[in-house]
Amino acid sequence: MQRNITILPEQSYAGKAKQQLTNLKIKFDKNSEFIDSEIAFLSSIGDIFPIYDYIILESISGVTILDSSSELIASYTLVQHLKEVITEIRRAVTSLDTKQVSNEHL
């Protein structure tokens, strides 16, 4: 059975990253304080792509940089999430291995 799944552009990783970037740029321009989830997003991909630095550069220069980078940021974010999921699965498997009873005890 094959099902077609449609993800709206604004609900995709790239769409959500673009919206988050837009919100951050607006808050930066208004000199508003970032909340914890926004700070987490800014540091989510580490030094690979310094989002905050690009927000500053965009604000100073007036040149749009981040809009075209939303797909790149989304890709890095997705990879980071997958790494976290894999780490959790490995922990769970290790935990189950240590608790598994051998057949001779059954």
Q: Which two tokens stand for residue 49?
A: 């792509």
Residuewise pLDDT in 10s, the chain (106 residues): 788 889 888 888 889 888 999 999 999 999 999 999 999 888 877 777 888 888 999 888 888 877 778 888 888 888 888 999 999 999 998 888 777 665 665 5
Contact between 66 and 55 (Cβ < 8 Å): yes
List of E strands, the chain: none
At residue 101, the pLDDT reads: 61
DSSP-assigned letter for residue 66: S
Indicate yes or no: pTM above 0.75. Answer: no
Q: For the chain, what are the domain ranges?
A: 13-99
Contact between 27 and 42 (Cβ < 8 Å): no
